[in-house]
Amino acid sequence: MDIPAGVVAALALWPIKSDGARHAQLLTDFFAAQPADTWPGTVREATAAHWVRRPDLISTAAPILRWAEDEHSPDLLYAVRAVALTALKHGVLFHTGASDPAMRSDTDLMSWTITALRHRGDRAWLGEFHTPPELAEAMNRIAIGDNPPTVSSLYECAGGTGGMFRVAAQHLRERNVDPQRWTWHLQELDPVAAAGAAVNFLIWDLGPKATVACGNTLSQPDLYERSLGDRAELDELRDRLVGRAATAAAHLRVLRTLGDLGVSAPRPPARESSQSAA
């Protein structure tokens, strides 16, 4: 189920957002025409665009995205395309393609996808029965009220794909409170559901203080602190890699300018001996 969930996630995460049905239809037609062997690349592109901003959420989403790094048989790629066409036919880009995050938060796409794919025995074992949106709305109205503070926090210790947060964020937006100023932390035992929550957090744009931890809330009381530590490490790694890429790009620009001026590129100095090189 990681592959179909990842295909839906990649379409929902596609970084070019716009308002209006015309754009969603154009993008739908574009993706529908893509041949099967291009789909892993599409998934990698959508992933990379978000990794730059939130490497921690993309790392949590890896169980449904990392298959796109591997080689696949034509049969599997045919199936990947069939999943993509089904998601497109059912309007995935109409639900997730708007530039306004409130308009992308109308539905818990990853909940529908993951619970539909899961074997019912596994669902029963996990107790994976997500709160229906109407009930979640009623609970939010009671818990958050009509005058929510501009800054606060919510924690979900068995969060599924984050449907309760979706409704809470919409509740805040309707009352002119920006969910990006709140802290959202979700914990989930199942790696695929945690991956779905991480994807949802990006679609719903819950902001810089939104984190997801995959683990057991009952036996791992420090999951929140761990998720903050992992995030700091991944941000540092991202900064280092982006810094190196920027340096390489600057060198290339200089070499190209020298080439345009007819100056041949300087050769690197030859090493004198193995000892001095060391």
Ligand X SMILES: C[S@@+](CC[C@H](N)C(=O)[O-])C[C@H]1O[C@@H](n2cnc3c(N)ncnc32)[C@H](O)[C@@H]1O
Contacts to ligand X by CB under 6 A? 126-131, 156, 158-160, 163-164, 187-190, 193, 216-218
Q: How far is the CB of 116 from ligand X (least distance, A)?
A: 14
Which of 162, 163, 210, 159 lies closest to 189, judged by CA?
159
Q: Minimum Å distance from CB 237 to ligand X?
A: 27
Closest distance to ligand X from the beta carbon of 102 (Å): 20
Of 180 and 217, nearer to ligand X (C-beta) is 217
Q: Which two tokens stand for residue 84?
A: 């993509």
Give dist(CA 151, CA 173) in Å, integer. 13
Report the nearest approach of ligand X to the CB of residue 100 (Å).
24
Q: Which is nearer to ligand X, 24 or 109 (CB)?
A: 109
Considering the complex, state which of residue 218 and residue 270 has its C-beta at the smaller distance from ligand X. Answer: 218
Minimum Å gap between C-beta 122 and ligand X is 9
- 3-state SS, residue 214: strand
Judged by beta carbon, residue 88 or residue 193, the one nearer ligand X is 193
Bridging pattern class, strands 183-188 and 210-214: parallel
Comparison of 38 and 131: residue with beta carbon closer to ligand X: 131
DSSP 60-99: HTHHHHGGGGS---HHHHHHHHHHHHHHHHTTHHHHH--S
Looking at residue 162, the DSSP 8-state letter turns out to be -
Q: Which of 14, 48, 41, 44 is nearest to 28 (CA)?
A: 14
Residue 253 tokens, joined = 């620009």
Tokens of 228: 């903050």
